[in-house]
Amino acid sequence: MEEELKPIHHRQWFVQAPLLIFACGIPAQAWRHSNGKSYLDVDIAIVMDHLTLAAANLGLGTCWMASFDFQAVSKLLDLPKDVEPLVMTPLGYPADQPGIKERKPLTELVRYEKW
């Protein structure tokens, strides 16, 4: 399917993975807060986050992606008009092992009781 996938994203490295997972949502069916705010994006983010963490636990590589042609994905997957692709990830065993990541200290990321 590499040729069919080319219109989706401007870089072709993502088609090297044996599997692509697209997380889609139905805006009309999304949970809404009492103030009317839709939580579809939050719910999809939770799903994708759990998926990528589970994959990492199994030694699989992922790459959260939201930079793709949504219309091309909808056409390729033959999605109904009310279903929107929101994020995707390639999934597979990585060709190389990433180095140690430098993390910001918690003091830069977390505030206790007050800002």
Residue 56 sits in a domain of what CATH number?
Answer: 3.40.109.10
Q: Is residue 18 part of a domain?
A: yes
The CA distance from 75 to 69, in Å, is 10
Q: Which residues contact 40 (CB under 8 A, 6 or more apart)?
A: 25, 26, 27, 30, 31, 86
Q: Is residue 49 part of a domain?
A: yes
Full-prediction pTM beyond 0.85? no
Domain range for 58: 2-109
Q: Is residue 115 part of a domain?
A: no
Q: What is the mean pLDDT of the chain?
A: 92
Which tens digits make up the pLDDT trace of 24-34?
Answer: 999 999 999 99
- Residue 74 near residue 85 (C-beta atoms within 8 A): yes
pLDDT at 39: 97
Per the structure, the count of domains in the chain is: 1
Label residues 48-84 b or e (16+ Cβ within 10 Å = b). Answer: beebbeebeeeebbbeebeebeeebbbebeebeeebb
For residue 22, what are the β-bridge partners?
A: 88
Q: Average pLDDT of 51-64?
A: 94
Q: Minimal CA–CA distance to 82: which of 25, 23, 22?
A: 25
Please, what sign has the CA dihedral across residues 56, 58, 59, 62? negative
